[in-house]
Amino acid sequence: MKNREINFDIKQLVSFLEVAREQNFTRASRNLSLGQATISHHIGQLEKMFGVTLMNRTSKDFSLTPEGEAFRDFCMKLFGDIDGLLRSFSEAASGGVAEIAASTIPSTYIIPAVIARLKEKNPQFFYRVSVSDSREVVELIKEGRAEIGVLGRLIKHPSLAYDRLMTDEIVLIGPNPGPDTVSAKEIPSLKMIMRESGSGTRNAVENSLSGMGIRLSDLNIVYECSTTEAVKEAVAAGIGCSFVSKLAIERELEQNTFRIIRTRGMTISRDFYVVYQKNRPRGRAAALFLDEIRRRV
């Protein structure tokens, strides 16, 4: 092996990592917009160059060989080092830039206060926050397009680490005037406004209702929104009731815009998490953000 000439390019490594991640050539081909023949050629070139088999692949099975697992770890570290180098260039030019991905509630009601505290001490740092649903936040972190994610749903992946930040209560709200209390069995009779599929809030509500024997198809869903603000406006307009984060309605409750409807025998809560890649180095701005949100939330 020591006499072999090692000469590969980044495209070959990207193909290898995508196939290893998906454990499927067809999905890897679709994700990279490359032909399967091209991806197979890239991996074949790597195996020929190293003189080892990196993948066991048959029509029914796929697995990395021990050599393939070692090469996967090498590739992930290499790309992490490249990301670190690019961030160093960016920080040298601008003082520090961090890409943050967050779901709706954290992006609106948690992150601004954290960044405000950071900017007081480090005005040279710049933070860019992308707002997506929880599933998309995880994808952005996995793909390396964001350094830190904040979300209300734990979606496990071997490359990711999660830290729990806080617990949030999800409450049922309705327009004024209206009932103060309902039982769980009465919920299907209400006109319901729901967040979109993929939302952490919706996932927590579905799980809780399921535990009470209520399916999503049992609900009278009359409206669906992609943001919490849109949900609140719909409730205030009298379209129906909805489950929302208690963090999101403090101002409206003070203004008597709508009311919390207590649900007898039913309590919904969910945790917020910060997520990041285990082996990816973080820039100074992102590292300070992670420390601050862990400490202050």
- Decide: helix, strand or coil at residue 147: coil
pTM score? 0.60
User: Given the DSSP bridges, would you call strands 126-131 and 220-225 parallel, antiparallel or unpaired?
Assistant: unpaired
| Rounded Cα distance, 55 and 52, in Å | 9
Omega before 177 within 30 of 0, i.e. cis: yes
pLDDT in tens, the chain (297 residues): 555 677 888 899 999 999 998 888 888 999 899 898 999 999 999 999 899 999 987 766 788 999 999 999 999 888 888 877 776 666 545 557 789 999 988 999 999 999 999 999 888 888 999 998 888 999 999 988 899 999 988 888 889 999 999 999 999 999 877 778 998 889 999 999 998 887 888 888 998 999 888 998 999 999 998 888 999 999 989 999 999 999 898 888 888 888 899 998 888 888 999 999 988 888 888 999 999 999 875
Identify the pLDDT of residue 151.
93
In the prediction, which pLDDT does 233 show? Answer: 92
Q: What pLDDT is attached to residue 88?
A: 65
pLDDT for position 190: 93
pLDDT of residue 70: 93
Give the pLDDT confidence score for residue 126 in this predicted structure. Answer: 86
Whole-number pLDDT of residue 90: 62
Closest CA to 121 of 290, 297, 288: 288
Q: Which residue ranges form the domains of the chain, and what is each CATH number?
A: 10-78 (1.10.10.10), 87-166+272-296 (3.40.190.10), 168-268 (3.40.190.10)
Rounded Cα distance between 242 and 234, Å, is 9
Residue 59 has a pLDDT of: 64
Choose among 136, 160, 145, 156: nearest CA to 276.
160
The first and second tokens of residue 88, run together, are 């160093």
CA 94 to chain centre: 27
Whether residue 274 contacts residue 266, with contact meaning beta carbons closer than 8 Å, is answered with no
Q: What pLDDT, on a 0 to 100 scale, did the predictor assign at position 283? A: 83
Residue ranges of alpha helices (H) inside 131-246 are 134-142, 200-211, 228-236
How far is 231 from 241, CA to CA, in rounded Å? 9
Measured from the Cβ of residue 249, the count of other Cβ atoms closer than 10 Å reads 21
- CA-nearest of 14, 72, 65, 20 to 38 is 14
d(Cα 20, Cα 248) in Å, to the nearest integer?
Answer: 40
283: nearest Cα among 126, 103, 129, 72: 126
Strands 268-277 and 55-57, how do they pair?
unpaired
pLDDT value at residue 41: 92
Report the relative pairing of strands 181-183 and 258-264 from DSSP bridges: parallel
